[in-house]
Amino acid sequence: MSRVAYVNGRYVPHREAVVHVEDRGYQFADGVYEVCEVLGGRLVDETRHTDRLERSLSELRIDMPIARSALGVVLRQVVHRNRVRDGLVYFQVTRGVARRDHVFPPSGTRPALVVTARSTNRAASEAVAAKGIKVITVPDNRWERVDIKSVGLLPNVMARQAAREEGAREAWFVDGDGFVTEGAATNAWIVTAKGELVTRPADGSILKGITRTTLIDVLGKRGMKLVERPFTVDEAKAAREAFTTAATMLVMPVVQIDDSVVGNGHPGSLTGELRAAFHTIAEIA
Ligand code: PDD
């Protein structure tokens, strides 16, 4: 079946979906994006993803390319036209097309919107989650505005590639004081040896993950306590459980950090419980 993408107002065959060479996303990484899970053909946490898109855009002083309600229609159209039941929808907004110049383009330059969707193999993801994943740790060498979901992802790309080359699925960034910030494309969590559930506060040093926010709702509903504080790599290695969250992985157990096995080397029971509970609380529309 042929895939379809949305590019600036048109639904086009995926292989013909192109943007201009002077799109500022291409030349300056001058844009932002979102990745939203699709479950049974419906969008998971669309409201929060769209809220975050609007926030990222406003931090960079880029206008919404189309009305919020129209965006919801386009996302569903792309999901539908690609016959995605379970998968991901990707949407990206850049500052648009203009002659290369660092300063903002002339007023009237329209922000560019691209939307793609693809199916994922749920059974394969569940099989990965049943075993848990390895993460490596790498120095956090990103800019200071990681709260913005920018398409400027070079440090993340290099970190994920390093992970791949070491047989791991994710890399956790570590700040100059030895504290874990977050993953290359996920947020990091541990259950300490004492049983404390810990994740780093979203104080600007991490992206405020939507999966993270919704999982905090899950904890609230279950009356479970969360401690939002930074944790060190050493603490993570000595933890009882560890996991990492994102729209692409949900609640993914971490069973190895660098050369250290976490807990008994199997996904933790609390992690499994939270993974199972996630979709009972998330918005699915
Ligand atoms: N990444 N931290 C970073 C740096 C991320 O890139 C992401 C998401 C997250 C988790 O956010 P959320 O729970 O909203 O997915 C945390 C997306 C999935 C990606 O780049 O593919």
Cβ atoms of 185 and 158 within 8 Å: the answer is: no
**Segments making up each domain of the chain, as ranges:** 4-120, 125-281
Whether pLDDT at 260 is above 80: yes
Q: What is the DSSP letter of 15?
A: G
Going through the chain in order, the beta strands assigned E by DSSP cover 4-7, 10-13, 31-39, 42-43, 87-94, 112-119, 133-139, 170-174, 180-183, 187-191, 197-199, 227-228, 241-246, 250-257, 260-261
pLDDT above 70: percentage of residues in the chain: 100
Give residue ranges with CB within 6 A of ligand 1. 35, 156, 182, 185-187, 207, 209-212, 245-248
Please tell me the CATH superfamily of domain 125-281, with its number.
D-amino Acid Aminotransferase, subunit A, domain 2 (3.20.10.10)
pLDDT at 2: 87
* Dihedral, 160, 263, 120, 183 alpha carbons, nearest 10: -30
Which residue's CA is the nearest one to ligand 1's atom 6?
185
pLDDT in tens, 119-173: 999 999 999 999 999 999 999 999 999 999 999 999 999 999 999 999 999 999 9
Cβ atoms of 262 and 254 within 8 Å: the answer is: yes
Q: Give the integer Cα–Cα distance in Å for 165 and 157.
A: 12
β-partners of residue 174 are 139, 180
Ligand 1: residue of 138, 144, 187 to mutate (most ligand atoms within 8 A of CB) is 187
Helices within 153-232 (DSSP H only): 154-165, 210-221
4-120: CATH number: 3.30.470.10
The CA-atom distances, in angstroms, between 122 and each of 66, 84, 247 are 32, 12, 13
pLDDT at 178: 98
Of 56, 78, 107, which is closest to residue 7 (Cα–Cα)? 78
Tell me the pLDDT of the chain averaged across its residues.
98
- C-alpha 187 to ligand 1 mean position (Å): 7
Considering the entire predicted model, what is its pTM?
A: 0.98
Q: Give the integer Cα–Cα distance in Å for 171 and 18.
A: 31
Cβ atoms of 150 and 166 within 8 Å: the answer is: no
pLDDT at 58: 98
Q: Cα 26 to the chain's mean position, in Å?
A: 20
Which among 149, 194, 208, 237 is annotated as catalytic?
A: 149
Whether pLDDT at 239 is above 90: yes
SS (H, E, C) 248-268: CCEEEEEEEECCEECCCCCCC
- C-alpha 30 to ligand 1 mean position (Å): 18
pLDDT at 202: 98
Of the pLDDT bands very low, low, confident and very high (cuts 50, 70, 90), residue 70 is: very high
Q: Give the integer Cα–Cα distance in Å for 285 and 281.
A: 12
- Please say if 149 is a catalytic residue: yes
What DSSP assignment string belongs to 126-158? Answer: HHHHHH-EEEEEEE----S-TTS-BS--HHHHH
Q: Give the integer Cα–Cα distance in Å for 53 and 158.
A: 24
Whether pLDDT at 1 is above 80: no
Whether pLDDT at 5 is above 90: yes
Which residue is listed with tokens 């990707």?
90
pLDDT in tens, 181-230: 999 999 999 999 999 999 999 999 999 999 999 999 999 999 999 999 99
Ligand 1: residue of 149, 156, 160, 174 to mutate (most ligand atoms within 8 A of CB) is 149
pLDDT in tens, 19-67: 999 999 999 999 999 999 999 999 999 999 999 999 999 999 999 999 9
Cβ atoms of 157 and 279 within 8 Å: the answer is: no
- C-alpha 173 to ligand 1 mean position (Å): 13
Kindly give, in sequence order, each residue whose CB lies less than 8 Å from that of residue 273, ignoring residues fewer than 6 positions away. Answer: none
pLDDT at 230: 98
- C-alpha 34 to ligand 1 mean position (Å): 8
Q: Give the integer Cα–Cα distance in Å for 207 and 69.
A: 25
Residue 278 in tokens: 């996630």
